Chain A
Amino acid sequence: MDFQVVVLAGGNSKNLTPLVSKELPKPLLPVANCPVLNYVLHQLEQSNLKDLIVVVEGEDAALLVGAWISGTFIDRLHVEIAAVPEDIGTAGALRAISHHLTAKDILVVSGDLVSDVPPGALAATHRRHDAAVTTMLCSIPVCGPLESGSSGGKDKAKKLGRYNIIGLDPSKQFLLHIATGAEIEKDARISKRILHAVGQMEMRSDLMDAHMYAFKRSVLQEVLDVKDTFQSLKEDVLPYLVRSQLKSEALLNRTPQGEENSNEKVSSQNNQAFISRILANASTPSFHGIYSENPDGSSSTRKTHKCCVYIASSSSYCVRLNSIQAFMDINRDVTGDADHLLSPNNIIGPSPKLGTKTTVGPNCRLGEGSEMGDKCQVKRSIIGRHCRIGSHVKVVNSVVMNHVTIGDGCIIQGSVICSNVQLQERVELKDCQVGAGFVVTAGSEYKAESLAKKEK
C-alpha cells in the first residue's frame, strides 16, 4: 500500500526509572511477561505490515532490541533497526533515518503503544483525505488501579494536565488545534484564519494523541529539513503542521505537484486542469478547499494541506506506556479486560510449581519455571519467569519480573519488582518500584518509594 512503517521504540526513559536500565531498555520492558515492543510489532504484523524500521535510542539498546527481535520475529517480520543518539527526540530520530524513507506515506508508531486499534484505519483515513498528516486520537485511559485507588490519586491529578487540548472541525475529521506538553498550561492560541475558514471548532480535552501518525513523506522530510530545531513530533512537528495548514508554505505542496506536472506534457496541462476541476467539483469541499478559493471561484495560489484525525472508537484499547502508573495500568488491563491484546506467541510455559495451600487469583500471569512455596497468595499480579517465592508471601496488584527471589513472609502490594531482585524475609513493600538487581534487606518496610542500585 506504499506505506513505510517507522517504530520509534525509544531507549532509556526517565519517566520509567528505575524500571528501565541499561540492561533493560524501555522497548524490552515486560508487560505481562512480554516486551512492550511486542505489542506494537504484533499489531503491525496482524495488519500485514511486515517491513518495519525500528528506531532505538542508543547503540547498546539497539543491540539488545535487535537481538530480541531477531529471536522473536524471525521468519515473520522484516525489521531494520536504526540506532540514533539519545536525547535527540522523536523528530530528531526521524531526521536521522529520513533518507531511508522512500514510500509515499510514512506511518510512525510509538514503540510504547499498547493498543488494539488497527493501523490500517488510520492509514485509510490518511489516504482518503490525501492529508499531510493524520494522527490517531484516543480517549484518555482511566488511570490508577481500579481497586486500590489510593496510589493513583495523586498521580491522576498530575497527569490529567499532561494530555492534549484538541480542536476539531464539526465533522470531526480535521485537526484544527492541538496543544501538548507545557503549552497546555498557557493560554490557547487559536489561529483566527482557521477559525474563520471553518466557522466552528470543537475543543476537546478528553482525547489523547496516541502517537501514531501517518505523514506524507514529502511533507515530513521538508519539515524536518527546514525546521531543524524541532525536537519532538508531538510537541513541535504536529502543532506546526496544524498551525500552518491554511498558510502552508509553498514547500509543503511544491514537491508532489512538481512530480505530477513533470509527467505531463505542456499541451495536456490544460486537460489536466480540466480533470482536476471535474474531480474537485464532484466532491464536497472541505474548508481547505473553500478557503483556498478566491472570491471569484478560481483556485488561488494559497496553499493548504490537511491535518486529519482518526478517532479511535471508545471501545478500543489504546494506552501509552510512558509512566510507571501507565505501566501498572497496562499490566492490569492486559491480563484483565484487554487480554485479547496478548499475542498468541506469548507462550505461557508449563504451569509453575505451587506449594500447598497457595492460591493464585484471577487476572494473574505466572511465567514458566517459577516456584512458589506454601500458603502464598497472588492476586491480580504478574510474575515473571524463574522466580522463587518463599512461603507465606502475599503479592497483590504487583508486577514481579524475571529471576526474582522473594523470601518467606513478604507482602508486596502495588509494586514493581524488576529482574534479579532479592527480597529477603518479611519485607513489606507498598507502591514501590525496585530496580533491577537490588537487594532488600530482611524485615524492611517501604511505602511509595523507588529503590534502585546506586550506579557509579
Chain B
Amino acid sequence: MDPRRTARTVSGPKVRQVGFFTPAPPERSISDPPRFQDPIQPPSPSPTQVNDHSPSGNSLSPVMIPPAHHHSDNFLRTALQVTSPTKAFSYSAKTVTIPPENEDVASSFSPGRKVFSAKSPSSFPGVKASSVPASELTTVSVVNLPPGISEKAGGASVEVQNDRPVSAKTLKEKTSKAERRALQEAQRAAKAAAKAEGTKASSAASKVVTSANTKPSKAAKSSSQKNDGSQVAASEKKGGDRAPEKDRKKDAPHPRMQYDDKSRVEKAKKRAVVKQTEARNRVELFRHLPQYEHGTQLPDLETKFFELDPMHPAVYKVGLQYLSGDIRGGNARCIAMFQAFKEAIKDYSTPPEKTLIRDLAARISSYVSFLIECRPLSISMGNAIKFLKNRIAKLPLALSESEAKSTLMLDIDRFINEKIILSEKVIVKHAVTKIQDGDVLLTYGASSVVEMILLHAHELGKHFHVVVVDSRPKLEGQLLLRRLVRKGLSCTHTHVNAVSCIMQDVTRVFLGASSVLSNGTVYSRVGTACVAMVAHAFRVPVLVCCEAYKFHERVQLDSICFNELGNPDAISKVQGREEINYLDGLVNQENLQLLNLIYDATPSDYVSMIITDYGMIPPTSVPVIVREYRRDHLWS
C-alpha cells in the first residue's frame, strides 16, 4: 500500500477536493467515468481518468499522470493466457464418446425428420435398450435457437462448453498468485519510472493501455476502446465517439426511484421480473421506499424458474436466496453475488455480432436489476458491482473471449480475497489490540467481522466477557451467540430494550456496519444507533468495524431518505406464539400502519473510532479514505 500512497500524493493537487462539489461542468462530464446506472451514486468528481490522446481531443485534465504500469499489466496477462488454449484442448478427449449425439444435433435442423436410427444402441450399460430419437428439435420460432441447442444438445456439447472455461480458469488460478505478485511489482516499477519521467511519459504509454491509477479525466470505457482501437482498427473510432455521449447521459445523477410516484412505479412494475404487489398502509414518511407484499413474491418467482431464459441459474439462485432471506449480511450477500456472477461469466459466450464488453456489461446489468427486484442492494454490493463493471469496461478489445472471461473471474476472486477477506483479517488484527483482559464487550446483531474479532481474541487467550444485544424480529444475535458459546466464550444475551441497564458494565462496544458514509454516519442494522447513543451517554467507546469497500461517498443525515423496508408481518406477528398475535385481522385496517425498518443511520458524534482495513480512524477521516482509496477499489 505504501508505495501507492506516495505515488498518489504526487498527484495530489488534482484530487484534493474537500467537502461538497457542484456537479462537474459539461465538458468535464464527457470524460467522467460511466455511471453504470448505480442509483445510489450521486455524481462525483471523477477519480478515474485516463490520459487521453484520443482523437476527440478533449483533454481537459489539468494534470497528466502517466498511466505507467498498465502496459506491463496487460502484457503479462496476455502472455499468460496464450498458454491457456493448449490446456483447454486436453479436454477434448472427454467428448470422444458421444459423437452420435452430436450428429443428431446437427441434423435436428431438418424439420419433421423422423429418425429411427439406433442412436448409440449399445451404449446403455447392462440392459438391452436403445434410444430412438423420435422427434427432433426444430424450434425455428424460438429466439435463442443457437445457444439453446448448443447448450442442450445432448451431453457432449454441454461438457465441452463447460469444461473449457474451467480449464482456463484453473490454469489462471494456478498462476494467479505469482502473476499478481509480478504484476504488482511491475506496477510499482512502472510507477516509479513514470514519476521520475514526469507527465511527459504519459503520451508514450497511453497509446496502448487502459490505466488503473491514473487520474486525467476521460471516460474509462471510451478511452479504453479508443486506446486499443488505435491499434486494432481505425473503424473503432465511431464507437469511441458515441460512448462519451452515452456517458454524459448517465452522468446525470440517476434519481433513485421514488416509490410514492405512482406513474413511475407502474412503469417499473411492467419491467419487473418479480411480481411486486405494493403493500398497502405504508407509513407516510417512508412512502418513497419500495415495499411489497411479502409472501407473494417467492412463489411467483419460483413458478417462473424455467421461464426466465436470460437469467443464469446461479444468479437466479442467489436472487431466490435474497428474497427468502436465506442469505443476509453485507459481506455474505456480496460474496454470494460475486460468486454467482463468476459462474455466469464462466458460462458466458458472446453472441454473434456483439462485442463482449458491451454485451457482458448489459448482461450483468440485467442480473443486477433482477437482484434489486429480489431485494434492494446493499451499499457494499453497489460498490462491488461498480468495480466489476469498471473491469468489464476496461477490458482491452484485443483480448479474446476466453482471456477476457478468465481475467474477469480473476478480478472477482481478487476482489473477494483482497477487499473482503484480507480486510477482515486486517480489521481483526487492529481490533484485537483494543481488547484487554477483563473487558466487557458489547455487540449488537450479528456482524461477521465482530464475530471474528471476538473469536480471535478468545483464541489469543484474552479473558473478556461478551454481551450480545439482540432485537426482534430477526434475532440474528442468537445465531452469533450460539457460535460464540460453542467456542467457549462467556456471554450475556439481552434485548435492545435492556441496553441502558447493561451498558454501565460495558467497557467497549463493537459494532458492525452496512456502510460508512462520508460524513462519518454509520449505516447499519436498525437499532445500532440506539446502542451507540446509549454507549455514548455512558461514555463507553464505540468502535465500528467496517471494511473499506463498504465506504460510500454519499452524505446522509437521517435514516429516512435511504432505507429498506422489511416485511411488516414480521413485527406484527410473533413466530411460534399464535396466542399473542393480537394484531391478527387488523393488519389491513386503514388506520394501522406497520413500519419494519431494516437500517438506521448513526451520527458520527456517537462513534469513537472506525476500524477499517487502513487502520483505526476517527469518523471524520472517512472522506479521506473514500477519496484516496476509492481508486484502489475500482481499479485494482
Q: How distant is the Cα of A18 from the Cα of B140 in the complex, in angstroms? A: 41
Contacts of A121 in B (CB 8 A): 299, 302-303, 305
Specify the chain A residue showing the minimal Cβ separation from B474: A284
A70, A76, A279: the one contacting B134 at CB < 8 Å is A70
Q: Are B129 and A85 in contact (CB under 8 A)?
A: yes
A124 interfacial contact with B, CB 8 Å: yes
Q: Are A275 and B134 in contact (CB under 8 A)?
A: no
Contacts of B301 in A (CB 8 A): 124
Q: How distant is the Cα of A95 from the Cα of B326 in the complex, in angstroms? A: 34
* Stretch touching chain B among A46-54, A332-340, A362-370, A388-396: A46-54
Specify the chain A residue showing the minimal Cβ separation from B312: A1
Q: Are A127 and B127 in contact (CB under 8 A)?
A: no
Q: Are A84 and B448 in contact (CB under 8 A)?
A: no
With A99-B125, A263-B166 in contact, do A75 and B317 touch (Cβ < 8 Å)? no
Task: Output the residue of B139, B169, B413 with the most chain A CB within 10 A.
Answer: B139
Contacts of A128 in B (CB 8 A): 317, 320-321, 324, 326
Task: Output the residue of B141, B153, B166, B448 with the most chain A CB within 10 A.
Answer: B448
Give the residues from 57 to 71 in chain A that come closer than 8 angstroms, CB to CB, to chain B: 59, 62-63, 65-67, 69-70
Q: Are A102 and B139 in contact (CB under 8 A)?
A: no
Contacts of B327 in A (CB 8 A): 279, 282-283
A293 interfacial contact with B, CB 8 Å: yes
A100, A125, A127: the one contacting B313 at CB < 8 Å is A127
Q: Are B479 and A1 in contact (CB under 8 A)?
A: no
B588 interfacial contact with A, CB 8 Å: no
Q: How distant is the Cα of A96 from the Cα of B130 in the complex, in angstroms? A: 10
Contacts of A118 in B (CB 8 A): 302-305
Give the residues from 145 to 184 in chain B that come closer than 8 angstroms, CB to CB, to chain A: 148-149, 152-155, 158-159, 166, 169-170, 173-174, 176-177
Give the residues from 112 to 145 in chain B that come closer than 8 angstroms, CB to CB, to chain A: 112, 114, 116, 119, 123-142
Q: Are A120 and B448 in contact (CB under 8 A)?
A: no
Contacts of A295 in B (CB 8 A): 486
Least CB distance from A112 to B in Å reads: 19
Q: Are A268 and B173 in contact (CB under 8 A)?
A: yes
Q: How distant is the Cα of A102 from the Cα of B299 in the complex, in angstroms? A: 28
Q: Are A97 and B124 in contact (CB under 8 A)?
A: yes
Specify the chain A residue showing the minimal Cβ separation from B333: A282
Q: Are A297 and B307 in contact (CB under 8 A)?
A: no
A48, A267, A284: the one contacting B307 at CB < 8 Å is A48
Give the residues from 91 to 130 in chain A that come closer than 8 angstroms, CB to CB, to chain B: 92, 95-97, 99-104, 118-121, 123-125, 127-128
Q: Are B305 and A124 in contact (CB under 8 A)?
A: yes
Q: Are B139 and A50 in contact (CB under 8 A)?
A: yes
Kindly supply a per-residue 1/0 record for chain B positions 477-516, scoring 1 wherever the CB is within 8 Å of any chain A CB and 0 otherwise. 0011001001110000000000000000000000000000
Contacts of A103 in B (CB 8 A): 158
Contacts of B446 in A (CB 8 A): 281
B136, B305, B451: the one contacting A78 at CB < 8 Å is B136
Give the residues from 414 to 467 in chain B that come closer than 8 angstroms, CB to CB, to chain A: 416-417, 420-421, 446, 448, 451
Contacts of B125 in A (CB 8 A): 99
A187 interfacial contact with B, CB 8 Å: no
Q: How distant is the Cα of A281 from the Cα of B133 in the complex, in angstroms? A: 48
Q: Are A120 and B305 in contact (CB under 8 A)?
A: yes
B126, B159, B320, B336: the one contacting A124 at CB < 8 Å is B320
Contacts of B141 in A (CB 8 A): 75
Q: Are B306 and A49 in contact (CB under 8 A)?
A: yes
Specify the chain B residue showing the minimal Cβ separation from A126: B305
Contacts of A281 in B (CB 8 A): 329, 332, 446, 448, 451, 479-480, 483
Q: How distant is the Cα of A106 from the Cα of B448 in the complex, in angstroms? A: 35
Q: Contact residue range for chain B?
A: 35 or more
Least CB distance from B226 to A in Å reads: 36
Least CB distance from B33 to A in Å reads: 29
Kindly supply a per-residue 1/0 record for chain A positions 76-92, scoring 1 wherever the CB is within 8 Å of any chain B CB and 0 otherwise. 11111111110010001
Q: Are B332 and A268 in contact (CB under 8 A)?
A: no
Specify the chain B residue showing the minimal Cβ separation from A127: B317
A78, A83, A100: the one contacting B130 at CB < 8 Å is A83
Q: Are B329 and A3 in contact (CB under 8 A)?
A: no
A23 interfacial contact with B, CB 8 Å: no
Q: How distant is the Cα of A119 from the Cα of B421 in the complex, in angstroms? A: 38
Q: Are B139 and A78 in contact (CB under 8 A)?
A: yes
Contacts of B114 in A (CB 8 A): 67, 70
Q: How distant is the Cα of A148 from the Cα of B174 in the complex, in angstroms? A: 73
Q: Are A77 and B421 in contact (CB under 8 A)?
A: no
Task: Output the residue of A63, A74, A278 with the most chain B CB within 10 A.
Answer: A278
B59 interfacial contact with A, CB 8 Å: no
Contacts of B173 in A (CB 8 A): 263-265, 268
A: number of interface residues (CB 8 Å): 71
Specify the chain A residue showing the minimal Cβ separation from B125: A99
Least CB distance from A306 to B in Å reads: 12
Contacts of B326 in A (CB 8 A): 128, 283-284
Q: Are A99 and B123 in contact (CB under 8 A)?
A: yes
Q: Are A100 and B132 in contact (CB under 8 A)?
A: no
Q: How distant is the Cα of A162 from the Cα of B488 in the complex, in angstroms? A: 51
A296 interfacial contact with B, CB 8 Å: yes
A74, A81, A100: the one contacting B111 at CB < 8 Å is A74
B331 interfacial contact with A, CB 8 Å: yes
B316 interfacial contact with A, CB 8 Å: yes
Q: How distant is the Cα of A55 from the Cα of B417 in the complex, in angstroms? A: 47
Contacts of B333 in A (CB 8 A): 282
Q: Are B174 and A120 in contact (CB under 8 A)?
A: no
Contacts of A54 in B (CB 8 A): 134
Q: How distant is the Cα of A117 from the Cα of B119 in the complex, in angstroms? A: 33
Q: How distant is the Cα of A119 from the Cα of B305 in the complex, in angstroms? A: 8
Q: How distant is the Cα of A95 from the Cα of B124 in the complex, in angstroms? A: 9
With A80-B131, A281-B451, A284-B326 in contact, do A66 and B331 touch (Cβ < 8 Å)? no
Q: Are A81 and B132 in contact (CB under 8 A)?
A: yes
A240 interfacial contact with B, CB 8 Å: no
Q: How distant is the Cα of A81 from the Cα of B128 in the complex, in angstroms? A: 14
Q: How distant is the Cα of A73 from the Cα of B139 in the complex, in angstroms? A: 10
Q: How distant is the Cα of A118 from the Cα of B305 in the complex, in angstroms? A: 9
B108 interfacial contact with A, CB 8 Å: yes
Least CB distance from B126 to A in Å reads: 8
Q: Are A296 and B320 in contact (CB under 8 A)?
A: no
Q: How distant is the Cα of A125 from the Cα of B316 in the complex, in angstroms? A: 12
Q: Are B316 and A1 in contact (CB under 8 A)?
A: yes
Q: How distant is the Cα of A295 from the Cα of B482 in the complex, in angstroms? A: 11
Specify the chain A residue showing the minimal Cβ separation from B128: A85
Q: Are A66 and B132 in contact (CB under 8 A)?
A: yes
Specify the chain A residue showing the minimal Cβ separation from B159: A102
Least CB distance from A28 to B in Å reads: 13
Q: Are A51 and B169 in contact (CB under 8 A)?
A: no
Contacts of A92 in B (CB 8 A): 127
A15 interfacial contact with B, CB 8 Å: no
Contacts of B304 in A (CB 8 A): 118, 120
Q: How distant is the Cα of A73 from the Cα of B133 in the complex, in angstroms? A: 13
Q: Are A123 and B421 in contact (CB under 8 A)?
A: no
Least CB distance from B218 to A in Å reads: 35
Q: Are B132 and A63 in contact (CB under 8 A)?
A: yes
Contacts of B176 in A (CB 8 A): 265
Q: How distant is the Cα of A274 from the Cα of B130 in the complex, in angstroms? A: 48
Specify the chain A residue showing the minimal Cβ separation from B305: A120
Least CB distance from A207 to B in Å reads: 18
Specify the chain A residue showing the minimal Cβ separation from B105: A78
Other CB < 8 Å A-B pairs besides A1-B313, A82-B131, 5 of them? A85-B127, A120-B306, A127-B316, A268-B173, A271-B417
Q: Which residues of B contact A (CB under 8 A)?
A: 108, 111-112, 114, 116, 119, 123-142, 148-149, 152-155, 158-159, 166, 169-170, 173-174, 176-177, 299, 301-307, 309, 313, 316-317, 320-321, 324-329, 331-333, 335-336, 339, 413, 416-417, 420-421, 446, 448, 451, 479-480, 483, 486-488
**24 residue pairs from A and B, CB less than 8 Å apart:** A1-B305, A48-B306, A49-B306, A50-B142, A51-B152, A63-B116, A65-B134, A66-B134, A74-B135, A75-B140, A79-B137, A80-B133, A83-B130, A104-B313, A121-B302, A127-B317, A264-B173, A265-B177, A279-B332, A282-B329, A282-B333, A282-B448, A283-B327, A295-B486
